[in-house]
C-alpha cells in the first residue's frame, strides 16, 4: 500500500512539470517571429529580406540619384534635376507627408494614360498578402486636383482593389534631366532629313 501511494505521488509530481521542460524544442513559427518583431518600432516585415522601401526602388527605376527620406526628394532635386508638375514616363512623383505617411512617398511614372490618369510602379504602399515592403507595378494614380495640376492624387490600394479615398498632396514630378541642361539645337542634317517627308518637294528643292 505504501508503495502504491509513492507511485501516485510520483505521478502527480510528473504532471506538474512544465510542458516546455518535458517536450523537445520546436522550430520558431512565422507567428513567433512576427510577435518578436513587435519589441521595437519597426514593422516585422522590415526585417525580412523581401522588404523594400519606396526610395531605393524609385531610384532604381528612374535613375535619379537622390538619397534620404521620400519627403526630402523634392527640395533635394532643386538645382540638380529638372522638376515640374506634368507627369512623364520615368519621372518620380514626390508625395508630401500626410495622414499616416509621415515620411512622404515616391513613385515612378510608367505610363501616362490621359491628362488625369497615370500608371506608376512603386514599393511599400499597399500591403500585399498582409506584408508591407512589396512592389506594385503599373497601378493607377488619379489626379483629383481642382486645377488639374497634379497637386492632389488618389492612389490604387490593393486591399480594396480600387483607388483609395485619401487625396494625397503631391509636390510635383522630378525628371531624370540635369537642371540647366540645354537641349542640343537641331542640326542641318536633321532638318534635311525632316524635309524628306515630302519627296516631290525634296526633288524640287534639290534634297535628294
Instruction: State the pLDDT at residue 14.
Output: 44
H-helix or E-strand spanning residue 3: helix 2-15
In whole angstroms, what is the distance from residue 194 CA to residue 198 CA? 9
Q: Is 105 exposed, middle or buried (0-12, 13-18, 19+ CB in 10 A)?
A: buried
| pLDDT exceeds 70 at position 190 | no
Which position has the higher pLDDT, 20 or 102? 102
Residue 183 DSSP code: P
Q: Which of 115, 68, 69, 110 is nearest to 91 (CA)?
A: 110
Instruction: State the pLDDT at residue 100.
Output: 87
Q: What is the pTM of this model?
A: 0.65
Of the listed ranges 21-25, 104-108, 143-147, 158-162, the least confidently predicted one is 21-25
Average pLDDT over residues 105-110: 99
Q: Which CATH superfamily is domain 50-178 in?
A: endopeptidase domain like (from Nostoc punctiforme) (3.90.1720.10)
| pLDDT exceeds 60 at position 145 | yes
Amino acid at each position: 500500500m505504501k508503495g502504491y501511494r509513492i507511485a501516485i505521488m510520483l505521478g502527480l509530481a510528473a504532471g506538474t512539470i512544465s510542458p516546455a521542460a518535458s517536450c523537445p524544442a520546436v522550430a520558431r513559427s512565422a507567428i513567433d517571429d512576427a510577435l518578436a518583431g513587435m519589441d521595437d518600432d519597426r514593422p516585422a516585415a522590415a526585417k525580412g529580406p523581401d522588404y523594400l522601401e519606396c526610395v531605393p526602388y524609385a531610384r532604381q527605376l528612374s535613375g535619379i540619384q537622390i538619397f534620404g527620406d521620400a519627403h526630402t526628394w523634392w527640395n533635394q532635386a532643386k538645382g540638380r534635376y529638372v522638376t515640374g508638375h506634368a507627369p512623364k514616363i520615368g519621372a518620380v512623383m514626390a508625395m508630401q507627408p500626410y495622414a499616416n505617411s509621415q515620411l512622404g512617398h515616391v513613385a515612378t511614372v510608367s505610363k501616362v494614360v490621359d491628362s488625369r490618369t497615370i500608371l506608376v510602379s512603386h514599393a511599400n504602399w499597399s500591403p500585399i498578402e498582409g506584408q508591407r515592403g512589396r512592389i506594385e507595378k503599373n497601378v493607377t494614380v488619379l489626379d483629383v486636383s481642382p486645377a488639374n495640376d497634379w497637386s492632389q492624387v488618389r492612389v490604387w490600394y490593393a486591399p480594396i482593389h480600387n483607388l483609395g479615398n485619401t487625396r494625397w498632396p503631391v509636390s510635383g514630378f522630378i525628371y531624370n534631366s540635369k537642371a540647366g541642361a540645354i537641349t542640343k539645337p537641331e542640326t542641318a542634317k536633321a532638318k534635311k532629313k525632316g524635309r524628306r517627308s515630302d519627296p516631290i518637294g525634296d526633288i524640287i528643292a534639290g534634297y535628294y
